[in-house]
């Protein structure tokens, strides 16, 4: 029987651990706070931010979201980030990606103080990750690592193949998997759009991670029997039978690979909830660090 790695169930466990940590902070008079900036009208971003607010409320993190129209001048966003940076109520700051096209996203993200960068996007935190001195690890790669270790699929000594080299997922995940740590210690290969004979490489994966952003890209013949498959993709495809007119699928052809793999994450209900939970973890960690 294939094991379905349930991101909602794992998130529930981790959230209860986070709630306990927040209770300890509250006993010391500290409430963790997250400042969120959402610019524009991307429907998926609005859904994500609402879910993040709901998660924060559930575990006892204070949140404040600035929702701004897409034609907001960049300087206004920078001023908001600066005000969150200097406000002690906020231990974490999140600017929802993507920002509208006219903005320099890197400039905005880099404005967040590294000590409040709970997304783990700032070059300071990316550099720390690379040298193995992690503080804030980007939430999706962190969530993937937690899914593997907590469901008994330690990457140690395994060949992990990542398809996708993004700054938010592929590259930081490779850095985590290769770390000298009993929860990592994998041999890592990163594949991307220019990789030759992709299937030949993915078929050698003990752990295959799909982070491409292309619906059902990974087909059954690209997956080794008995592999552990982590699907990071979230793609909307048309589905007239749904009220919304669409449904979500991953980067893996789930139904086709299900019977040949040892374990797989579903979409939705896999990596997505874990990403959100790691944001709660990082915000709590930042509040804990503020007491040191």
Active-site annotation, residues: 52, 96, 119
Mapped to the 3 state alphabet, what secondary structure does 29-80 carry? CCCCEEEEEEECCCHHHHHHHHHHHHHHHHHCCEEEEEEECCCCCHHHHHHH
CB of 37 to ligand GUN, least distance (A): 9
Would you count residue 56 as binding ligand GUN (CB under 6 A)? no
Nearer to ligand GUN, 179 or 275 (CB): 275
Residue closest to ligand GUN, measured at CB: 97
Nearer to ligand GUN, 96 or 151 (CB): 96
Length of the chain: 292
Distance, CA of 109 to chain centre:
16
Among 11, 72, 96, 283, binds ligand GUN (CB under 6 A): 96
Strand order, beta sheet including 92-95: 62-68, 33-39, 92-95
- Partner residues linked to 94 by β-bridges: 36
Q: Which of 143, 146, 109, 115 is nearest to 128 (CA)?
A: 115
List the x/- string, 106-125, binding to ligand GUN by CB under 6 A. Answer: -------------x------
Q: Which stretch binds ligand GUN (CB under 6 A): 17-25, 65-73, 91-99, 201-209?
A: 91-99
Size of the site for ligand GUN (CB under 6 A): 8
Looking at residues 186 to 245 of the shown chain, list those that interact with ligand GUN (rule: CB under 6 A).
Answer: none
CB of 52 to ligand GUN, least distance (A): 9
CB of 122 to ligand GUN, least distance (A): 12
CB of 204 to ligand GUN, least distance (A): 29
Nearer to ligand GUN, 229 or 234 (CB): 234
Q: Which stretch binds ligand GUN (CB under 6 A): 95-103, 179-187, 198-206, 219-227?
A: 95-103
CB of 45 to ligand GUN, least distance (A): 7
CB-count exposure of residue 73 (10 Å: 0-12, 13-18, 19+): exposed
Among 103, 108, 139, 218, binds ligand GUN (CB under 6 A): 139
The SS3 of residue 237 is strand
CB of 221 to ligand GUN, least distance (A): 30
Q: Give the single-character DSSP code of 259.
A: G
Would you count residue 63 as binding ligand GUN (CB under 6 A)? no
Among 140, 281, 283, 286, binds ligand GUN (CB under 6 A): 140
Token reading at 4: 């379905």
Would you count residue 94 as binding ligand GUN (CB under 6 A)? yes
Q: Where are the beta strands (DSSP E) in 119-257?
A: 159-163, 187-191, 207-210, 228-231, 235-238, 246-249
* Cα–Cα distances in angstroms (integers) from residue 261 to residues 2, 50, 190, 226, 265, in the given order: 6, 34, 20, 4, 11
Would you count residue 281 as binding ligand GUN (CB under 6 A)? no
* Cα–Cα distances in angstroms (integers) from residue 231 to residues 23, 137, 257, 271, 272, in the given order: 33, 19, 12, 7, 10
**Residues at the interface with ligand GUN (CB under 6 A):** 94-97, 119, 139-140, 275
């Amino acid at each position: 029987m294939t094991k379905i790695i349930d991101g909602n169930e794992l998130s529930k466990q981790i959230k209860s651990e986070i709630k306990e940590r927040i209770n300890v902070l509250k006993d010391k008079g500290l409430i963790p706070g997250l400042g969120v900036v959402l610019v524009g009208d991307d429907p998926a971003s609005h859904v994500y931010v609402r879910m993040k607010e709901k998660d924060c409320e559930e575990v006892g993190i204070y949140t404040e979201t600035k929702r701004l129209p897409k034609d907001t001048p960049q300087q206004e966003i920078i001023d908001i980030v600066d005000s969150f940076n200097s406000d002690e109520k906020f231990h974490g700051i999140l600017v929802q990606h993507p920002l509208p096209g006219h903005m320099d996203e890197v400039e905005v993200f880099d404005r967040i103080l590294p000590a409040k960068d709970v997304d783990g996007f700032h070059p300071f935190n990316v550099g720390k990750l690379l040298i193995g001195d992690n503080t804030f690890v980007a939430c999706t790669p962190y969530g993937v690592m937690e899914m593997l270790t907590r469901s008994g699929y330690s990457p140690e000594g395994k060949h992990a193949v990542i398809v996708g080299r993004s700054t938010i997922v592929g590259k930081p995940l490779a850095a985590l998997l290769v770390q000298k740590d009993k929860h990592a210690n994998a041999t890592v290969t990163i594949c991307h759009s220019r990789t030759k004979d992709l299937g030949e490489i993915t078929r050698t994966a003990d752990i295959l991670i799909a982070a491409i952003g292309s619906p059902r890209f990974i087909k059954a013949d690209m997956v080794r029997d008995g592999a552990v498959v982590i699907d990071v993709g979230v793609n909307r495809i048309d589905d007239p039978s749904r009220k919304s007119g669409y449904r979500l699928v991953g980067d893996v052809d789930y139904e086709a690979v299900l019977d040949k793999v040892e374990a797989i994450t579903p979409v939705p209900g896999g990596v997505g909830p874990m990403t959100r939970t790691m944001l709660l973890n990082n915000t709590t960690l930042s509040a804990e660090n503020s007491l040191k």
